[in-house]
Amino acid sequence: MTGVELRRVFNRHREDLFGLPNVVGVGQGVKRIKGRATGEPAIVVLVSKKVPLQELKRDERVPRTLSKVAVDVIEVGEIRLLGRTEYQRPAPPGVSIGHYRVTAGTLGAVVRDRQTGELLILSNNHVLANSTSGNDGRAAIGDPIYQPGPYDGGGPDQLIGYLYRFIPMQKDYEEVTCRHAQFAQRLANKMLHLIRPSYRLAFYRRLAGENLVDAAVAKPVSPEAITPEILGIGPVRGIREAHVGMRVLKSGRSSGLNSGEILAVGATVQVTLEEGRSGLFSDQFVTQPLAKPGDSGSLVLDEEHYAVGLLFAGSEQSSICNRIQNVLELLQVEF
């Protein structure tokens, strides 16, 4: 049977099929037996729930054939819009997620721990670990992670996992912790208070470190709480090296699915982490604008769905991404 003939039969019977109980969709495909495709052209009928034939009246049953074309019935459940900021279980990459002390970012991917084989949730440090350096009290291993993130209504009832591992975030400056520096700070503020009572001095130590990634992983409450297929994209096929001119795409909490071109690789970028604080990131790649606030943590893939990076920063003119090779190696995870 040709595709034209199949389409003709489909158009002839589509409206009648929609009138049957539980039918939520009709399409063109092939006959499947025990989940295996036979290659035989078929009209595919999608039902919210399969019901035993004896519970249906004769005129309520989906016919086995239509105009000598096989009919295949597939149970798909209730079909609804997939809100990226709503509670979802299992939760796919591309939806809202966040540490209990942040607003919200994006669940980037499902990865596997290289040592234990456990499934983990991949996103940014600033999404899953509150931009922690590891010694600033901003986050700790075991902290709760919500899906959706707190900004989107996530709380203890929406717990999806716990912070499991992160790469420390190095800032340009940090508040001093040295006893001698703190003494000098107090002394300077006493002197300043004599002439400017409403002013206060703060001492900061300049840091020399650079960041390679903004990345962290969380351990889900159960493997069933997550699914590896990225919303609007599907499964990750592997990894590839990013290169200038490559077309890439991402699926994120705020702007959904979009694409752009890589403009530069091997970049060192000064990134504002919070008001008055910044960090230096090296070995990054820069793309055309892919994201809006809340898309942080999105996995970046090429057009064949090979992962090339992890999105973490950007502006209205560009997006900045970690090389996926650095992310996987530092976190000791794999797809």
Q: Is residue 36 part of a domain?
A: yes
Q: Is residue 34 part of a domain?
A: yes
Phi, psi for residue 62 in degrees, rounded to 5: -75, 125
| Beta-strand runs (E) in 153-222 | 159-166, 173-175, 204-206, 216-220
Amino acid at 192: L
Domain's final residue, options 155, 186, 206: 206
Report the C-alpha gap between 1 and 8 in whole angstroms: 11
Report the C-alpha gap between 148 and 301 in whole angstroms: 23
**Structural domain containing residue 40:** 3-75
Amino acid at 320: I
Domain's final residue, options 13, 41, 75: 75
Alpha helices in 209-281 (DSSP H): none
Alpha helices in 67-130 (DSSP H): 125-128
Q: Is residue 245 part of a domain?
A: yes
Q: Is residue 88 part of a domain?
A: no
Domain's final residue, options 187, 206, 225: 206
Same domain, 138 and 183: no
Same domain, 312 and 257: yes
Q: What is the pLDDT of residue 182?
A: 73
Q: What is the pLDDT of residue 112?
A: 98
Task: Give 35: exposed, middle or buried? Use CB within 10 Å, 0-12, 13-18, 19+.
Answer: exposed
Same domain, 69 and 177: no
Same domain, 265 and 236: yes
Same domain, 192 and 161: no
Same domain, 165 and 294: yes
Q: What is the pLDDT of residue 232?
A: 92
Report the C-alpha gap between 81 and 43 in whole angstroms: 24
Same domain, 188 and 330: no
Same domain, 252 and 317: yes
Q: Is residue 135 part of a domain?
A: yes
Report the C-alpha gap between 163 and 144 in whole angstroms: 6
Listed in sequence order, the residues at least 6 apart from 127 whose beta carbon sits closer than 8 Å to its beta carbon are 97, 98, 99, 102, 104, 105, 106, 149, 216, 296, 297
Q: Is residue 118 part of a domain?
A: yes
Residue in 51, 160, 41 with CA at minimum distance from that of residue 100 = 160
How do 69-75 and 36-47 pair as beta strands? parallel
Q: Is residue 179 part of a domain?
A: yes
Q: What is the pLDDT of residue 18?
A: 86
Specify the CATH number for the domain of residue 153.
2.40.10.10
The token pair at 311 is 């999105």
Q: What is the pLDDT of residue 284?
A: 94
Q: What is the pLDDT of residue 176?
A: 55
Same domain, 253 and 145: yes
Q: Is residue 296 part of a domain?
A: yes
Same domain, 212 and 299: yes
Q: How many CB atoms lie within 10 A of CB 143?
A: 20
How many domains does one find in the chain? 3
Listed in sequence order, the residues at least 6 apart from 124 whose beta carbon sits closer than 8 Å to its beta carbon are 105, 108, 214, 215, 216, 296, 297, 310, 312
Geometric angle at alpha carbon 300, from 295 and 306, rounded to 5°: 155
Instruction: Describe the chain by its helix, strand, coil percentages, rounded to 5.
Output: 20, 40, 45
Same domain, 190 and 213: no
152 DSSP 8-state letter = G
Same domain, 44 and 61: yes
Walk along the chain (335 residues) and give the pLDDT tens digit of each residue.
Answer: 788 888 898 899 988 998 899 888 888 888 888 778 888 899 999 888 888 988 889 898 999 999 999 999 888 776 655 579 999 999 999 999 999 999 999 999 999 999 999 999 999 999 999 999 999 999 999 999 999 999 999 999 999 999 999 999 987 655 556 776 676 668 766 776 778 677 676 655 555 578 999 999 999 999 999 999 999 999 999 999 999 999 999 999 999 999 999 999 999 888 888 766 778 999 999 999 999 999 999 999 999 999 999 999 998 889 999 999 999 999 999 99
Q: Give the CA count within 13 Å in the CB-facing half-sphere of 190.
A: 6
Report the C-alpha gap between 312 and 5 in whole angstroms: 49
CA distances (Å), origin 309, targets 83, 88, 233: 24, 25, 15
The token pair at 197 is 């009572």
Alpha helices in the chain (DSSP H): 3-18, 125-128, 179-195, 324-331
